[in-house]
Amino acid sequence: MKYSEFPYKRLTVDSQNALMMDWLVRFEGAESAEDQITVLEEVDDASREYASYVSIASLNFSRNINDEAAKSEKDYYDSIGPDIQEVYNKLDQAVDASRFKADLTEKWGATFLKKIEMELKTFDPKIMDMLRKETDLRNEYTKLTAGAKIEFDGKSYNLAGLGPFHTHEDRDFRKRSYAARFQWFEENANQFDDLYDKLVKLRHEIATTLGYKNFVELGYLRMGRSDYGPDEVANFRKQIVDHVVPIVTKMLEQKKAILGLDHLYFYDGINFKEGDPKPKGTPEELVAGAQEMYHELSPETGEFFDIMVNEELMDLVNREGKRPGGFCTSFPKYDRPYIFSNFNGTDHDITVLTHEAGHAFQCYSSRKQPLVSYLWPTMESAEIHSMSMEFFTWPWMKRFFKEETDRFKYKHIAGSLSFLPYGACVDHFQHWVYENPEATPKDRKNKWLELESIYLPNRDYDDIEFPKSGGIWQGQLHIYQMPFYYIDYTLAQTCAFQFWIKSEENREEAWSDYVRLCKAGGSLPFTGLVELAGLELPFDDGCLESVVEKVSNWLDSVNVSSL
Ligand SMILES: [Zn+2]
C-alpha cells in the first residue's frame, strides 16, 4: 500500500468514549490477568488507529499549508486532543489500580506501568482548558514565525528562505542577512516577549494546579524521563563547560586560520572560505544513491529503504506551500514511518537522508514491539538512532560529496561538537525560566546573556542589536513549543560519538549493537537503552571527557589547509 492509499478518517470523542466505557467495565470486572491483557490489546489497536490518523492529518497539512481541507483535518485533531487524553486517562487510572499489576509487568516489562504512572502525574481534567490554551499559544508562535516577511536586497523572504544567506561566502552579505533577520525580530519583540511570558505563566499554573512547586518536575514528566532528573542534567551541563567549551574555543582558532580572519563574529558561521560542501546530483540521483547505500550497509537497511521508496513514504524536496524543516513521523496502524524534508541543495539534504532515515529505520525496526507506547523511545534516546546513522553512513559520503567529502566530514564533526555548549545553554536557560516564573522579559534576556558568557564565551554579535540585548533564543522553536526538549540532543550526541568511535574500531559489532538498540524502540527508559546498546551513560563522570578527547584528537589530525 502506498501512503496515498492509507485509509484515513475522523474519529469522534463520542465514539472513543463509548469504546472506553466498554473497556473499563470489562477491565475492572476482569477475573484474571489474561482478561485484562485482552482488553489492553484491544485498546492498543484502537490507539494505533487514532495515532495514525493524527499523524496523517498533521502530515498532509505540513505538505501543503495552503490546503484548506488539510488544515481543517489538522485543526480537528488538535481540538479534540485534550478530550481524548481525558478518555484514556480513565483507563490509565484503572490500570494503575489493577490487582494484576505484577502479571502486567511480567507480560510487558516494567516500562509499561512506569509510563502510565508518569502519564497520570501530568494530567487531571482540571487542567483541560489550560491545555487547550497552551496549544493555542504554541500555534500562535508557529503563525508568527511562519508568517515572517523580511525585505532583503529588494526581495521578500520568510525565515527559512533567508537561511542560506547566513552562510554565504561573502562576509558583508552574511552580516546584512543576519541584520535583516534580527531587525524583524526586533520589530516583533513585544509579541515574542508577551507570548513567552504567557506560556511560562500558564505552564506554571498548570504545574501548581497539579500540585507541583513549579513547572520543572512536570516538564521532565512530560518528556517521559523516569530515570534521571535535573541534578544529573546539571552535572552533565557542567561537564560540557569543563570539557567541551575549551575545545570549541580551540576549534574557533582553527577556523580563523581556515577563513583567514583575525576575529570571528557571530555571522562567521561558515566552515570554508568558498562556502560549505554541496551534494552533487539531482534529488532523484541523491535518493537513488541513498538506496544503493542502504543496500550495501546491511540487509535490514536495504529492505527498509526499498519500502520507503516503493510505498512513497518520503516527501523530500522543497516546494511552495510546504512547511519548513524536516521530521520523521509514523502510522502505527500500518507499521510504517514517513520522512518529510525540504531539500534545498545544501549538505543538509544528505543529513536528512541519514538523520531522518535513522529515526525511520528505528521506527521500522521496532514495529514488532507489542505496545504502541513502545514504538518510539523518549527523545534523548530517539536522537541516538538518528545521529548515529549519520556516522554509520560515513563510508558512503564520497558518493554524495565527491571531492568535498573531507570537508563534509570535518564540518559534520566540528558542528556536532560545537553544538553541545549551545544545547546546554538552552537547557540551563529553561530551568532558570521555570524556576523563576515571575521574572520579566527583560530579566530573561539578561539571564540569557549571563549564560551565554559561560557556554558560548566567544560569541560576538558585533553591532547587531537584537541578539546583543539577549533575545536570540526567541528564534528557537523548542523553547516556546516543547519545554525542556533540548538537552536530549546533547545526550544523544554523546552516545552517537561513541558509536562513531566504536564503528572505527569494530564496525560489525557497533552495527549489531545499533540494530539491537533500534529494535528495542521505547521498551526501556534512556539508561536501560544505553546499557542495552553497550554504551557508556553520558551522566557518568568521565564519559564525556573521554569521548571528547577522541573527537578532539580526530580534529587535530585533520590537515585543515588541505581541505
Ligand atoms: Zn532527530
Tell me how far the alpha carbon of residue 406 lies from the centroid of ligand 1, in angstroms: 24
CB neighbour class for 436 (10 Å; exposed up to 12, middle 13-18, buried from 19): middle
Provide φ and ψ at 85, rounded to 5°. Answer: -60, -40
**CA atoms of 347 and 327, how far apart (whole Å):** 16
**CA atoms of 14 and 16, how far apart (whole Å):** 5
Tell me how far the alpha carbon of residue 319 lies from the centroid of ligand 1, in angstroms: 22
**CA atoms of 70 and 58, how far apart (whole Å):** 8
pLDDT at 262: 95
Counting DSSP H helices and E strands in the chain, the numbers are 26, 5
Tell me how far the alpha carbon of residue 477 lies from the centroid of ligand 1, in angstroms: 14
Tell me how far the alpha carbon of residue 378 lies from the centroid of ligand 1, in angstroms: 12
Q: How many CB atoms lie within 10 A of CB 254?
A: 15
Can you give the C-alpha Rg of the chain in angstroms? 24
Tell me how far the alpha carbon of residue 521 lies from the centroid of ligand 1, in angstroms: 15
In this structure, the strands spanning 327-331 and 336-343 are antiparallel
Tell me how far the alpha carbon of residue 187 lies from the centroid of ligand 1, in angstroms: 31
Tell me how far the alpha carbon of residue 356 lies from the centroid of ligand 1, in angstroms: 6
Tell me how far the alpha carbon of residue 496 lies from the centroid of ligand 1, in angstroms: 12
CB neighbour class for 467 (10 Å; exposed up to 12, middle 13-18, buried from 19): buried
Tell me how far the alpha carbon of residue 352 lies from the centroid of ligand 1, in angstroms: 9
Tell me how far the alpha carbon of residue 339 lies from the centroid of ligand 1, in angstroms: 11
Tell me how far the alpha carbon of residue 199 lies from the centroid of ligand 1, in angstroms: 25
pLDDT at 122: 97
CB neighbour class for 274 (10 Å; exposed up to 12, middle 13-18, buried from 19): exposed
pLDDT at 314: 98
Tell me how far the alpha carbon of residue 357 lies from the centroid of ligand 1, in angstroms: 9
C-alpha cell at 332: 502505527
pLDDT at 322: 86
Half-sphere exposure of 232 (CA within 13 A, CB side): 15
pLDDT at 318: 84
Q: How many CB atoms lie within 10 A of CB 182?
A: 22
In this structure, the strands spanning 314-317 and 336-343 are parallel
Tell me how far the alpha carbon of residue 355 lies from the centroid of ligand 1, in angstroms: 6
Tell me how far the alpha carbon of residue 179 lies from the centroid of ligand 1, in angstroms: 29
Q: How many CB atoms lie within 10 A of CB 26?
A: 14
Contact residues for 307 (Cβ-Cβ < 8 A; gap 6+)? 313, 336, 364
Tell me how far the alpha carbon of residue 162 lies from the centroid of ligand 1, in angstroms: 23
Tell me how far the alpha carbon of residue 346 lies from the centroid of ligand 1, in angstroms: 18
- Secondary structure (DSSP) of 267-308: T---SSTT------S-HHHHHHHHHHHHHHH-HHHHHHHHHH
Report the predicted TM-score, pTM, of the whole model to 2 decimal places: 0.95
Residue with cell 516564573: 437
Tell me how far the alpha carbon of residue 100 lies from the centroid of ligand 1, in angstroms: 37
pLDDT at 19: 97
Residue type, 299: P
pLDDT at 147: 81
Tell me how far the alpha carbon of residue 383 lies from the centroid of ligand 1, in angstroms: 5
Tell me how far the alpha carbon of residue 494 lies from the centroid of ligand 1, in angstroms: 14
Tell me how far the alpha carbon of residue 80 lies from the centroid of ligand 1, in angstroms: 27
pLDDT at 390: 98
CB neighbour class for 110 (10 Å; exposed up to 12, middle 13-18, buried from 19): middle
Measured on CA atoms in the order 225, 226, 227, 233, is the torsion positive or negative?
A: positive
Tell me how far the alpha carbon of residue 240 lies from the centroid of ligand 1, in angstroms: 21
* Cβ atoms of residues 180 and 150 within 8 Å: yes
Q: Per-10-residue mean pLDDT for the chain, 563 residues long?
A: 97 97 98 98 97 98 93 95 95 97 97 96 95 93 88 90 89 96 97 98 98 98 96 97 96 91 94 90 95 98 98 92 88 97 89 96 97 97 98 97 95 96 98 98 98 97 97 96 97 98 97 98 98 97 95 91 80
* Cβ atoms of residues 216 and 471 within 8 Å: no
SS3 337: strand
Q: What is the DSSP letter of 346?
A: S
pLDDT at 344: 83
Tell me how far the alpha carbon of residue 386 lies from the centroid of ligand 1, in angstroms: 6
Tell me how far the alpha carbon of residue 389 lies from the centroid of ligand 1, in angstroms: 11
Tell me how far the alpha carbon of residue 170 lies from the centroid of ligand 1, in angstroms: 31
Tell me how far the alpha carbon of residue 518 lies from the centroid of ligand 1, in angstroms: 14
Tell me how far the alpha carbon of residue 397 lies from the centroid of ligand 1, in angstroms: 19
* Cβ atoms of residues 425 and 432 within 8 Å: no
How far, CA to CA in Å, does 366 sit from each of 374, 385, 520? 8, 12, 6
Question: Which residue from 528, 485, 524, 492 is spatially nearest to 381, judged by alpha carbons?
Answer: 492
